Structure 1
Amino acid sequence: MTTNPSKAAHPNKATDPIKATDPVEVTDPSKTTDPSKTKNPVKTARFALVAAPLLTVAYGGIRALDGIDGTRGPGLAWTTGHLAFVAALILFVPALLEMRRVAGRGAFATVTAGAGIVGAALGLAQFVIDIVAGLLASGHADMQRMVGEAQEVAGVELAVYAVGPALFYVALSMLAVHLAAVRAVPVWMPVAVFLGAVVPLVSHDLLPVGGLLMLGGFVPLLRSAAPVPARAMA
């Protein structure tokens, strides 16, 4: 029996590309970047830029109500107001980091933001002392005694009640000035932030005004999309 030559496989016949087996590259889904995840830190920071000043306003308002009877603390208003500002101080941390990001993550912005975070941590310690004293005290005089005893601990009054808050507000203001210097924000922004930091020092009753000024100063940061090139303050 003879074989039909037309059915024989020709040695030079090209392989059917449809039947060819090519290696298929499989993308590891764990290595893909979810755009929503990359935006989360910025969203968190922008939330903090709004919430931190508003919580400052809330603290100032609750503090004013607490003082209607002539004394402040202990009680629900004292504790609630202080908790509001504790939350504000915590949220000022991502706010400072966002200001550093927008400034370009340079040396000056990094050091200043770090100083601000240290100041916020020391301020947080002050408010924790006040809250604990308010919860444990039997009355206003007893609360003042407890706070006084805490301040008598070596270094507490200087670091927690004096240097810490000043360091926080100075760093926040300097970082705002730096942002204007690198043209990341308009020149009025650091003015608003500085006034928001200074006004409460004139009178604690002006805390709500200071919070609103701070909120207004942060508005340009809510609109900023990309950081400027990294640079250091000359």
Structure 2
Amino acid sequence: MALLLYAGCRWLDGRDGSHSPGLWWNLGHAAFLITWLSFAVLTVLMTRQLRGGLALYPAVAVASLVGIAAFVWVTVTDIFQSLPELPDPLRNVGPLLFLIGFCVLLGGTARQQRINPWLLFPALTLAAIAAVAASLALLPLTALLFLAALAPCRSKAAPLAVK
């Protein structure tokens, strides 16, 4: 899981007391970028699987993708510091858009598969975000919480697949 790789690289980068561009910084941010691109793919696949369900799924998918795009922009500007920063309003709203959209899609996926309690998976996503918001040192916990939250995407009952 790329997020766990990012956590490890961040730890290695910070052993000297600071986090700054270099080998571990760049590898970690590349893994973080892969994490967000993976979330984008999952968002699209969950939305395709939920087609014919609630009319709001495409709208929350767009919200999730906008939030993911904000995270991607921030990650890319961390790697390439000469690029312009994401404007503050988008930097502030992006994580919320991702969180709302992804939680709704994940909950819908679990419900569609009749996994109970289906609210557990959005709750695990919220816990993952809360952990990393509390401290970047909790990135390994965040990675494990996301791994558990994504269980409906790995279910044998209705696995996500490109159609």
Short-chain TM bin = 0.7 to 0.9
Residues 18-57 of structure 1: matches in 2 within 5 Å? 54-57=1-4
The structure whose Rg is larger is 1
Deviations along 1:131-157, one digit per CA (max 9) or x if unpaired, are 012xxxxxxxxxxxx68xx44xxx612
The residue aligned with 2:65 is 117
Distance 2:19 2:52 in 1: 42
Partner of 1:95: 42
Equivalent runs, 1:71-220 vs 2, <5 Å:
71-106=18-53, 107-133=55-81, 150-151=84-85, 156-159=87-90, 161-180=91-110, 184-187=114-117, 188-220=120-152
**In 1, distance between residues paired with 2:122 and 2:22?**
36
Q: Describe the shift of the 1:179–1:88 C-alpha distance in structure 2 as closer, same or farther (beyond 3 A).
A: same
**Correspondence for 1:67:** 14
Normalised by the length of structure 2, the TM-score is: 0.83
In structure 2, C-alpha distance between the alignment counterparts of 1:112 and 1:184, rounded to whole Å:
21
For 1:63 and 1:129, locate their aligned partners in 2 and report how far apart those are by CA, in whole Å.
17
Q: What are the ranges of 5 or more consecutive residues in structure 2 without an aligned counterpart?
A: none
| Relative contact order, higher structure (CA 8 A, sep 6+) | 1
The total of aligned residue pairs comes to 156
Q: Which runs of 5+ in 1 are unaligned?
A: 1-53, 134-145, 228-234
Deviation at 1:99, TM superposition (A): 2.1
Q: Secondary structure at the match of 1:162?
A: helix
For 2:52 and 2:136, the matched residues in 1 are separated by 33
Whole-angstrom CA distance in 2 between matches of 1:226 and 1:67: 38
Percent sequence identity is 29
Contact 2:60–2:100, Cα closer than 8 Å, also in 1? no
Say whether residues 1:225 and 2:158 are aligned partners: yes
Tell me how far 1:56 sits from its aligned partner: 1.0
Amino acid at match of 2:129: A
TM-score of the superposition, structure 1-length normalised? 0.59
What is the CA–CA distance in structure 1 between the aligned matches of 2:114 and 2:47, rounded to whole Å?
Answer: 11
Q: CA deviation at 1:213?
A: 1.0
Conserved? CA contact 1:186–1:220, under 8 Å = no
How far apart, in 1, do the equivalents of 2:2 and 2:159 lie? Answer: 27
| Aligned Cα root-mean-square deviation (Å) | 2.3
Output one character per residue of 1:51-92: Cα deviation in whole Å (capped at 9) or x when no partner. xxx111111121122112111011111111111111111111
| Inter-CA distance 193–185: structure 2 relative to 1 (3 Å threshold) | farther
Instruction: Tell me the distance in 1 between the aligned counterparts of 2:37 and 2:4.
Output: 15
For the structure 1 residues 117 and 184, does the alpha-carbon distance in structure 2 shift closer, same or farther, using more than 3 Å as the test?
Answer: farther
Assess, with a 3 A threshold, how the Cα gap between structure 1 residues 122 and 180 changes in structure 2: closer, same or farther: same
**Distance in 1 separating the partners of 2:30 and 2:19:** 15
